[in-house]
A and B are shown apart, each in its own frame.
Chain A
Amino acid sequence: MTEISENQYYVPHKAKWPIVACVGLFITVIGASLKFNSLDLEPTTPWLMYLGFAILIVMFFGWFGEVIKESEAKLYNKHVDASFRAGMIWFIFSEVMFFAAFFGALFYARTFAVPWLGGEGTNLATNVQLWSGYEPVWPTNGPADLNGRFETISAFALPLVNTLLLLTSSVTITIAHHALLANDRKKTIIWMIATVLLGATFLFYQVEEYIEAYQHLNLTLESGIYGATFFMLTGFHGLHVTLGTIMLIVITIRLIKGHFKADNHFGFEAVAWYWHFVDVVWLGLFIFVYVL
Chain B
Amino acid sequence: MSHDITHDELSHDHDHKPKGFVNRWLLTTNHKDIGTMYLVFALAMFILGGSMAMVIRLELFQPGLQFVEPFFFNQMTTMHALFMIFGAVMPAFVGLANWMIPIMIGAPDMALPRLNNFSFWLLPFAFVLLAATFFIPGGAPAGGWTMYPPLVLQGGQNVAFLVFAVHLMGISSILGAINIIATIVNMRAPNVGYLNMPMFVWTWLITAFLLILVMPVLAGAVTMLLTDRYFGTSFFNAAGGGDPVMFQHIFWFFGHPEVYIMILPSFGIVSEIIPTFARKRLFGYVSMVYATAAIAFLSFIVWAHHMFSVGMPLGGQLYFMYATMLIAVPTGVKVFNWLATMWRGAMTFETPMLFSIAFVALFTVGGFSGVMMALAPVDLQYHDTYFIVAHFHYVLVPGSVFAIIAAAYYWLPKWTGHMYNERLGKIHFWWSAISVNVLFFPQHFLGLAGMPRRIPDYSTQFAEFNMWSSIGGFAFGLAQVFFVYIVIKTVRGGQKATAQVWDEAKGLEWTIPSPAPHHTFDDYKPVDLSKMAHGDNH
A residues sitting closer than 8 Å to B (CB atoms) are 1-2, 4, 6-19, 21-23, 25-26, 29-30, 32-33, 36-37, 39, 63, 69-70, 72-73, 75, 79, 82-84, 86-87, 90-91, 93-102, 104-105, 108-109, 112-114, 116-117, 121-122, 130, 140-144, 146-147, 221-222, 224-229, 231-232
Number of interface residues of B (CB under 8 A): 84
Q: Is the CB of A144 within 8 A of B239?
A: yes
State whether A224 and B27 are in contact (beta carbons under 8 Å apart), knowing that A22-B125, A97-B216, A97-B217 are contacts in the complex.
no
Give chain A nearest CB distance to B69 CB in angstroms: 23
Q: Is the CB of A7 within 8 A of B241?
A: no
| A227 contacts across to B, CB distance below 8 A | 233-234
Give chain A nearest CB distance to B367 CB in angstroms: 28
Of B242-250, B391-399, B478-486, B490-498, the one with at least 4 CB within 8 A of chain A: B242-250
B129 within 8 A of A: yes
Chain B at the A interface: SS class: helix
Q: Is the CB of B28 within 8 A of A15?
A: yes
Q: Is the CB of B160 within 8 A of A37?
A: yes
- Please provide the chain B residues from 468 to 482 with a CB less than 8 Å away from any CB of chain A in the complex: none
- Can you spell out 19 A-B residue pairs with CB atoms less than 8 angstroms apart? A13-B18, A13-B29, A14-B9, A15-B28, A79-B524, A83-B187, A84-B112, A94-B174, A94-B216, A97-B214, A101-B217, A101-B221, A105-B220, A113-B241, A116-B243, A142-B234, A142-B238, A221-B233, A222-B233
Give chain A nearest CB distance to B74 CB in angstroms: 20
Given contacts A2-B10, A11-B29, A224-B241, 10 further A-B contacts (CB under 8 A): A12-B29, A14-B23, A15-B28, A21-B118, A87-B111, A97-B216, A101-B216, A102-B220, A142-B237, A228-B234
Interchain CB contact (< 8 A) of B238 among A16, A23, A33, A143? A143
State whether A146 and B216 are in contact (beta carbons under 8 Å apart), knowing that A8-B12, A12-B113 are contacts in the complex.
no
A-B interface, 7 closest residue pairs, ranked by CB to CB distance from nearest: A101-B220, A142-B241, A18-B118, A225-B241, A224-B240, A142-B240, A144-B239
B499 within 8 A of A: no
Q: Is the CB of A25 within 8 A of B168?
A: yes
Q: Is the CB of A104 within 8 A of B523?
A: no
B residues sitting closer than 8 Å to A (CB atoms) are 1, 3, 5, 7, 9-10, 12, 18, 23, 26-29, 107-109, 111-115, 117-118, 121-122, 125, 128-129, 157, 160-161, 164-165, 167-168, 171, 174, 177-179, 181-183, 185-187, 212-217, 219-221, 223-224, 226-235, 237-243, 245-246, 249-250, 253, 313, 522-525
Q: Is the CB of A39 within 8 A of B216?
A: no
Could you tell me the distance between the alpha carbons of A99 and B107 in the complex, rounded to whole angstroms? 34
Interchain CB contact (< 8 A) of A109 among B3, B241, B525? B241
Chain A at the B interface: SS class: helix
Q: Is the CB of B239 within 8 A of A4?
A: no
Q: Is the CB of A9 within 8 A of B187?
A: yes
Q: Is the CB of A15 within 8 A of B241?
A: no
| A6 contacts across to B, CB distance below 8 A | 524
State whether A9 and B109 are in contact (beta carbons under 8 Å apart), knowing that A94-B212, A97-B217 are contacts in the complex.
yes
Give chain B nearest CB distance to A43 CB in angstroms: 11
Could you tell me the distance between the alpha carbons of A105 and B168 in the complex, rounded to whole angstroms? 22
Could you tell me the distance between the alpha carbons of A13 and B27 in the complex, rounded to whole angstroms? 8
| B107 contacts across to A, CB distance below 8 A | 9
Residue of B nearest to A82 (CB): B186
**Of listed B111, B122, B522, residue having the most chain A CB within 10 A:** B111
Give chain A nearest CB distance to B101 CB in angstroms: 14
Interchain CB contact (< 8 A) of A14 among B10, B27, B109, B174? B27
**Of listed A11, A32, A108, A143, residue having the most chain B CB within 10 A:** A11
**Of listed A8, A141, A221, A228, residue having the most chain B CB within 10 A:** A228
Give chain A nearest CB distance to B121 CB in angstroms: 5
Q: Is the CB of A25 within 8 A of B125?
A: yes
Could you tell me the distance between the alpha carbons of A25 and B119 in the complex, rounded to whole angstroms? 13
Could you tell me the distance between the alpha carbons of A117 and B244 in the complex, rounded to whole angstroms? 12
| B234 contacts across to A, CB distance below 8 A | 141-142, 146, 222, 224-225, 227-228
Q: Is the CB of A90 within 8 A of B181?
A: yes
Could you tell me the distance between the alpha carbons of A233 and B408 in the complex, rounded to whole angstroms? 44
**Of listed A25, A33, A91, A99, residue having the most chain B CB within 10 A:** A33
Q: Is the CB of B9 within 8 A of A19?
A: no
| B186 contacts across to A, CB distance below 8 A | 79, 82-83, 86
